[in-house]
A = this chain, B = another copy of it.
Amino acid sequence: MRDFSSDHRFLSINTATVRKQGDFVAIVEACARHGIRAVSPWRDQVAHVGLDRAVKAVRDAGLDLSGYCRGGMFTADAAHRQQARDDNRRAVDEAKALSAPCLVLVVGGLPQYSRPGSAPSRDLAAAQAMVEEEIAALLDYAKSANMPLAVEPLHPMYAADRACVNSTRQALDICDRIDPAGSGVIGVAIDTYHVWWDFELFDQIRRAGRKRLLAFHVCDWLVPTRDLLLDRGMMGDGVIDLPKARATVEAEGFGGYVEVEIFSEDWWARPMDEVLATCIERFRTVV
């Protein structure tokens, strides 16, 4: 297990963590100022400044990417399916332009939430089948762009509206069916917030192995959690055993950036420099 106590060279900041404090260019500049070597951008934040300007900002700051957030929202009714496909191909293109190591996929829940306007459905199994079919279709395009796809299982409390893939087992089952050879073009993004509760997590990380472990995200689960979406915790403020999770992915050979992704009204209300300094301090002490 890597020693993070003396530097933060393996820290990446997911730009959602400070999305309210500045635009994408400001975030990139602040990260560079704090000696942070990598970011993981969200598409809407990139779109806000324009893709070309985002690419230039990252290049000028000398930053790496640890991922690109996000493709997905595959579930749609027939009238919205092509829109979803086109949107996902653009996400691959953007990830490529930004030299991201992978495109993270938040797969979508029921179609009426993933692609608003779609006919309402309660058929979660149908949504899951559609997700798999659409990932398989996108993979051909992603392969031609040499852009790995990272399926991110989301916490089950998001099953209806954000992602109907909710455990590492489920995500790996999909990967194994789509890519039985384990070529590395498709894998998983492990976000501790989404999967920490799972009694099978460590077994499934071992099952994934190095080729399927494309991204590793950290934040913390607060007790109480006051909001399903915007009350994630800073590492160390909650109950997740982060070192154990990191040790397990690293035992499989994961040597990439550890990405901090926190959606929190509390942390969004603080100055960007304070948030980044706290991320660095916690990264060195509790991750």
Binding site for B on A (CB under 8 A): 110, 113, 122-125, 128, 155-157, 159-161, 164-167, 170, 196-200, 202, 221, 223-225, 228, 238-241
Return the contact of A155 from the options B157, B161, B225, B240 (Cβ within 8 A).
Answer: B157
Q: A197's contact among B124, B197, B198, B224, by CB below 8 Å, is which?
A: B124
- Chain B residues, Cβ within 8 Å of A240: 122
Bound complex: CA of A241 vs CA of B164, how far in Å? 14
A-B contacts, 12 listed (Cβ < 8 Å) = A124-B241, A128-B199, A156-B157, A157-B225, A159-B197, A160-B221, A161-B224, A164-B197, A167-B167, A167-B198, A170-B200, A224-B228
CB distance from A51 to the nearest CB of B (A): 31
Residue of B whose beta carbon sits closest to that of A197: B159
A223 to B124, CA, bound (A): 14
- Report how far A224 CA is from B157 CA in the complex, Å: 10
Residues of the B chain whose Cβ atoms lie less than 8 Å from the Cβ of A225: 157, 228
Least CB separation from A174: chain B residue: B199
* Chain B residues with CB under 8 A of A164: 197, 199
The 9 closest A-B pairs by CB, nearest first: A159-B197, A156-B197, A122-B241, A160-B239, A157-B157, A156-B156, A170-B199, A160-B223, A161-B223
